Amino acid sequence: MVDLNFDKNFMSPIVGIDEVGRGSWAGPVTAGACLLNYRKPLPQKLNDSKKLSSKIRFEIFEQLKQDTFFGIGESSNKEIDNFGIQKATFKAMERALINLRKKIGEVKISTLLIDGNQKPSFLDKFGIDIKLIIKGDTISPSIAAASIIAKCIRDLYMLKMDTVYGGYGFGTNMGYGTKLHKNKLFLSGPTQLHRMTFSPMKKIY
C-alpha cells in the first residue's frame, strides 16, 4: 500500500508521472500525470495499478476524476517502432505533462515525481524539480494515481480495439503476450496495432 504521507516530503504542488504498456505487443504506451487534491480524502485503496483488480482500479479512477487534475499522453505503436520504447515512453510522459499543464492554468508545478530511475531529457525545459522514485507507484500517492489513470485509459482503448481486431484477446490481455494472442498472430498475422520491432512479431515477420 502507498504511504499517504510520502509526497509531503517534497515541495508542492506535486505531480506524479507513470506509464503503462511498455511490454505490450500491441497498442500504445500510455502515460499519466496527476496532481492530487490533498484537501479531499484520497481513495482508501489507492495503490500501484498492477496490484489492484480491474474493478477496484476503475472504482478509484472514477473517484480520482472527481477531485484530481490529470493529463494523459500516448505514443503509438508506430512511434515505438520508429524511436524505440524508451524514447516513445518519454514522449508519452511529456505529452501527459503538457496535457495536465493546459488544465491547471497558472498553477506552477514545484516537484515532479517520476516512477523509475531514468530521467527523461525533456523535463529540463520545464524548470521543475525532478525526483526519480524507484517503485514509486508502490510508495507515492501521486505516482500511484497516475499509474491507475494511465492504466484505465489504456485499457478502455484496448477494449475498444478488441471489437475492431477480434480474436487477439485485446479485451482481456490488453495487447500483452498470451497463448491466445500468440496463436492468433501465427494464424492471422499482425494488426495495425502491433509493434513490429517487438518479439514475436519481429521473429515471425
The pLDDT tens digits of the residues spanning 92-122 come to: 999 999 999 999 998 899 999 999 998 887 7
- Residue 30 CA to residue 47 CA, distance in Å, equals 18
For residue 126, give the 3-state DSSP assignment: helix
Domain 6-204 coded CATH 3.30.420.10: yes
* Burial of residue 55 (number of CB atoms within 10 Å: 0-12, 13-18, 19+): exposed
pLDDT digits (tens, 9 = 90+) for 26-61: 999 999 999 999 888 999 899 999 999 999 999 999
Q: How confident is the model at residue 9 (pLDDT cuts 50, 70, 90)?
A: very high
- Report the C-alpha dihedral over residues 174, 177, 179, 180, rounded to 10 degrees: 30
Model pTM score: 0.95
